[in-house]
Structure 1
Amino acid sequence: MALFHRSQGAEHESARQRCQPSYGRRVDRLLDALLPPLCPACDTPQSDPGGLCATCLHKLQALGWQCRHCALPLPNPNVQVCGACLHSRVRLDPVWAGFAFNAALRKMVHALKFQHKLVLAPLLGQQLLQHLPADIPGDGFDALIPAPLHISRLRERGFNQALELSRPLASSWHMPLRSDLLRRDRATRKQTHLDKPQRRANVNQAFSATPEVRGLRVLIFDDVMTTGATLHAMAKALRQAGAEQVGAITLARVT
């Protein structure tokens, strides 16, 4: 009798498990009807669960053609370098930014960084991938390096937004994502209200790179480029450690 009961119970459990997927789908459809999924950027109900809504996607302003060394917009594709970069002795090569840092994208980036909406990181990273030219990053780069946070900022925030945003790029490009190659040794002031010379001084010698970068061609990733001071400070540290070439990719550019 005991054997009969165990066998019967096992059959019942198996039947219940077979029904679960169908039952789960019905529950999901019911929940979607009663509680439609929300856009993670603006909290507006939408039909596409997990993605950005059409309104938010429309507000992302792709930069289009831009200077190869500073990502400022250029008038046409026949011009590759802006006037300022023509006379610059130290360049990042290449530099590319996906979007203008307009009010809508600023709100999304701030929600990611300060409201811990980590779901935005892969979504924005995927959008950046879709708007990068086919020849970016080009052949021969050895590693993608997310801009590091100082340990005190990392403890405060709990994550590095540059690392999270760059994951879709590294995966799509089959490129090693190396957050261990570059360190932020000194806590710096927030750059928001600093002018260009102050920004440059604020991040001067704030970074150091490991000897492992010697001979490598690397790309730095950061969320937003304003004057380029932070990117150039990171690039300087990488070159001093022996990096052969340093380029940069950013989600957004202040124009």
Structure 2
Amino acid sequence: SRASFRRRGYDPVRLLARAAALPRPARVLVNMHERASQKTLDRAERGTNLAGSMGAYRVLHGRRFLVLDDVITTGATLSEVVRSLREGGAEVVGAAVVAATPRHSLGLSPELEISSDSGT
């Protein structure tokens, strides 16, 4: 988010894309409403907090996306991003994250069709 960028001074997703020699990440989603900080929320609360919170601000038909994120905790943000892109007409070809928090199992929604690879 922009607030996270201001706080950190850098965008970890842009750094990931640059390190992987991917094109600059597209800004195609907008926040539809304010949401609470995710830090203290459990899995169910995160899902509720994020449900319908994002949307595509332009038509994405025919466009393909690889979703990048720095850390996955419950998968709620990733699920909402994928839902929003697909609702906007995009094809999501996959997702990549650098790290997963150990306190929760991922338990991603089956419709995401994303596999976890620990690299071992």
Q: Is this a same-fold pair by TM over 0.5?
A: yes
Q: Which residue of 2 aligns with 1:208?
A: 55
Q: Which residue of 1 aligns with 2:30?
A: 183
Task: Figure out how many residues of one structure are paired with residues of the other and give that number.
Answer: 102
Q: Give 1:213-228 correspondences, 5 Å limit.
A: 213-228=60-75
Sequence identity (%):
33
How far did 1:164 drift?
2.1
Relative to the length of structure 1, the TM-score reads 0.36
Structure 2: stretches of 5+ with no match in the other structure: 103-120
- What RMSD over aligned residues (CA atoms) do the two structures have, in Å? 2.1
Structure having the higher helix fraction is: 1
Mapped contact 2:13–2:69 kept (Cα < 8 A): yes
Residue 244 in structure 1 maps to residue 95 in structure 2: no
Mapped contact 2:35–2:53 kept (Cα < 8 A): yes
Q: Indicate the structure (1 or 2) with the bigger Cα radius of gyration.
A: 1
Q: Give 1:31-180 correspondences, 5 Å limit.
A: 149=1, 151-169=2-20, 171=21, 175-180=22-27
Question: What is the identity, as a one-letter code, of the residue corresponding to 1:154?
Answer: F
Mapped contact 1:226–1:254 kept (Cα < 8 A): yes
Structure having the higher strand fraction is: 2
Mapped contact 2:17–2:23 kept (Cα < 8 A): no
Greater length-normalized contact order (CA 8 Å, ≥ 6 residues apart): 2
Secondary structure in structure 1 of the residue aligned to 2:36: coil
How far did 1:246 drift?
4.3
Distance 2:33 2:5 in 1: 13
Give every structure 1 segment of 4 or more consecutive aligned residues whose post-TM-superposition deviation is greater than 6 Å: none
Structure 1: stretches of 5+ with no match in the other structure: 1-148
**Equivalent of 1:197 in 20, 36, 44:** 44
